[in-house]
Structure 1
């Protein structure tokens, strides 16, 4: 049961980052996947940048709905869960593809997502990611 609920959260998290129809609705629903105090961190070869949930969603909403980023999607690849009582962790690979200003691109990286069980069910308490780049390549 926990595994099913956590898999659903991972699916909904990645599904939020798909351009096109229903994108606004998926982004509007994204905050309910998180606890209000959650932190999201981007590394990607630069100084880590920490976001609140709203700070994380706002620029992605502009990108996904503004028309310059099209045919975009992001999805989970292989990953694993560790669950103990009311805490859980997913560590896994993900991929993305799309068109930025008409130019096709692809990418891959790793995400780590932490979960806590709340009265309303499992929620994301933290997430961080790093993308492939020269010198940092997934095997």
Structure 2
């Protein structure tokens, strides 16, 4: 992964989380994350999903497996921008989510901000922070593809 393919990275991440009820293949994307990467959820979560957390990759996986148990979850990228200078990149990935439990279906949209660096000729995620739309917080139209 010596040349940055930010769209490919986001597709891989969204493909893993977007599954029917059951375990996800987190190991298939572990290599995308630096061992010290952080994942920070801010704002409001869907129903009982915890918000305002700063997690390691392993803590995030554990929380996601617990929070999505029994649910079908699909996240699709609907906007993408990557700014890069040398060995540092900032990706803004706008997504829409469909969360299903039984007959209940919740639609939402949010934004992932991803910081990536190239270390030892490999691009890795250093941090991801995200938030969802809600009253008073709206994704700008120009961020959508």
Give the C-alpha shift of residue 76 in structure 1. 1.3
Mean CA deviation greater in 10-19 or 122-131: 10-19
Aligned residues: 134
CA distance in 2: counterparts of 1:35 and 1:73, whole angstroms: 25
Q: Residue 20 of structure 2 corresponds to which residue in structure 1?
A: 20
TM-score, length-scaled by structure 2: 0.80
Q: Residue 130 of structure 2 corresponds to which residue in structure 1?
A: 129
5 Å-filtered alignment, 1:1-139, equals: 2-3=3-4, 5-20=5-20, 24-25=24-25, 27-45=26-44, 48-64=52-68, 66-67=69-70, 69-70=71-72, 72-119=73-120, 121-139=122-140
**Structure 1 stretches of 5 or more lacking a match?**
none
CA distance in 1: counterparts of 2:82 and 2:30, whole angstroms: 22
